[in-house]
Chains A and B, each alone.
Chain A
Amino acid sequence: MDLLLDAVVTGVLLGCFYAAVSIGLSVSFGLLDVPHVAHPAFLVLASYGVYFLNDSYDIDPLLAGLLITPLLFVFGLAAYRLYYETFERRGTDAAVRGIAFFFGVAFIIEVLIILHFGVDQRSVTASYIGKSWRFGDMRIPLRLMVAFAVATGLTVLLAAYLSRTFMGRAIRAVAQDEEAVRLMGANPVRIKQWAFGIATAVLGIAGALLIIVAPVEPTLDRAYIGRTFCVVVMAGLGSMTGTLIAAIILGVSETIVLTMFGASWAPAISFALLLGVLAVRPQGLLGRR
């Protein structure tokens, strides 16, 4: 029983972390319909950026994540521009070629990381890594608490941005009806490009959390393809509240299976959940359709 409670608490914390790494995809795939399978590769790339700053200048990983955010934003703008010019404007089967395109990009990023940093696992150092808090019998690693706090903050912030600010509402308007936005005299491509920039920019913090929670390696993105897409699809495309709930469900299921059946079953959980959702409730928990 204690074990189960422990698993649930850890699962909730882990889930909030999953929300942080998925929230960008929730914007780019959920709202903009971009088949962004390179999202986890961008995430791992951001982690290596954080590692580089932490390793060579001894900057706190979270601060480092914040520092690379503007860079990622510009990178996102450029990536969307390329995607738009080559696929969306040409029209026909953009999704099919788009997914192949992003897989190619993901592989290129993987290899560039390997060539530059090598295949070894990398981790960061900070005062809150390695310690843990005690609640009665339960021990919770401090790094997971930090990830939990920052991830929740990031998710709430992005959700507020999308529902309260002018630009955020414009992004959701594009997601609902692109043609209507065009008729209102706005440029939907500009808005989508901005949104994709934001979706990539949040990876700065998410990447920092990724390397805080556990060491990273160049091919880690493959494990996160399942997790991030599972969360976004389960959430109902584009729902920020749904993203948080779905991520917590994933986190709790992972830790429960981990404690009951062992780590070797772990990789299948996110994908099995995803398949289940696609089969039973394709519109997700809080779907827009």
Chain B
Amino acid sequence: MKRGSIAFWGTAALFLVAVLAATQLVANEYPFFAGYVILQFIVLSVAWSILGGYAGYVNFGTSAFFGVGVYTGILLFKAAGAPLVVQIAAAAMVGAFLGFAVGLLTLRMQGIFFSIATIALTIVIETTVTNWRFLGGAAGIQIQRPPVTAPFHSYVQLLVFVQAILVVLAVAVARYIQNSWIGRGLQALRDDELAAECTGVPTLRLKMVACVISGALMCAAGAPAAMYLQYADPASAFNLNYSVSVLAMALIGGTSHWIGPVIGAILLGVTQQLLAVTISSEVNVLVLGVMLVVFVVAAPEGIIGLFRKGRRAEGKT
């Protein structure tokens, strides 16, 4: 194991221990409610940047994958009373399959056509779920949480710990892809797809791999959400806000390194949680829009791009 890997896994283990300790020591429920949302956004934006960042295919279907994850969880819970682990694993599998299907259908398109096609898929899936009576239809569905298991005092704390594990998993996968031949191939096709194809990079296959992995992680992140809210309805599970938030987080942080979306998700997620409590949820969307525009215009490489530029400038002087 290289030194970088040891540092990475050490930090990951420390992070999980810290979260576990927090669930045991902190009695107040609110930090967990807020923390859960932020962790969920970290998973989503890291997963998004596997396809959107490394390969440069801007996926607006995040809410489709997220929503399918939510409803897979609900379906399994309602039909068979499946435990949380099974729900997440099943959601990941459904997500991988959905990613494969979406990839087959859309990855031959480029640029904005891919983006529009992914929005289209979101709405088509949302409409299907809306018309599916068993899943509650447009009115939504209520879920009764099962009793909480041993070391945790409340179900939300359990969910926070589960989501923290998913964060570590997502980041580890993204990090592996970035450092392996898959990541190098994806970056090559982002810079010039035709040139990459000509030099023997299997572009379509790489894009498919990225789409499948990204989809599986997004769906997995969505599965516990129904248990968190104890309620789900199509209009909010498939809300376009998820797609745009996740995209904004990744772009704000920067997409050339896995740490970018993590930073972006923490920054925007914390800001949104604070604003939602202190002002209103409308202002939340406004902040999202403004930050997206400002960063895309002023810092196209995101926060990590700013740091790199700063470091380069220091080196010169």
Contacts and interface: CB of A to CB of B under 8 A. Distances in A.
A110 interface: yes
B116 A233 contact: yes
Interface in A88-102: 90, 93, 95-101
Contacts of B286: 107-108, 111-112, 115
Interface string A262-275: 00110110011011
B124 A272 contact: yes
B113 A96 contact: no
Contact of A104 (B130, B131, B138, B248): B248
Contacts of B288: 104, 107
Given A115-B282, A275-B121, A100 B247 contact: yes
Contact of B289 (A82, A105, A275, A279): A105
Contacts of A106: 289
B297 to A, nearest CB: 5
Most buried by B among A35, A90, A103, A108: A103
Nearest to B247: A100
Contacts of B115: 35, 99
B201 interface: no
Contact of A97 (B109, B113, B290, B300): B300
Interface string B179-215: 0000000000000000000000000000000000000
Interface string B94-126: 000000000001100101110111011101101
A233 B285 CA distance: 29
A260 interface: no
Given A100-B248, A271-B119, A95 B112 contact: yes
Contact of A107 (B105, B121, B123, B285): B285
Contacts of B113: 233, 278, 282
Nearest to A110: B285
Nearest to B191: A92
B20 interface: no
Given A268-B127, A271-B124, A114 B111 contact: no
A107 B292 contact: yes
A267 B105 contact: no
A111 B283 contact: yes
B105 A279 contact: yes
B285 to A, nearest CB: 5
B58 A99 contact: yes
Contacts of B123: 226, 267-268, 271
A275 B56 contact: no
A278 B109 contact: yes
Nearest to A102: B293
A225 interface: yes
Contacts of B119: 225-226, 271
A282 B110 CA distance: 11
Interface of B: 56, 58, 105-106, 109, 111-113, 115-117, 119-121, 123-124, 126-128, 130-131, 137-138, 240, 244, 247-248, 251, 282-283, 285-286, 288-293, 296-297, 300
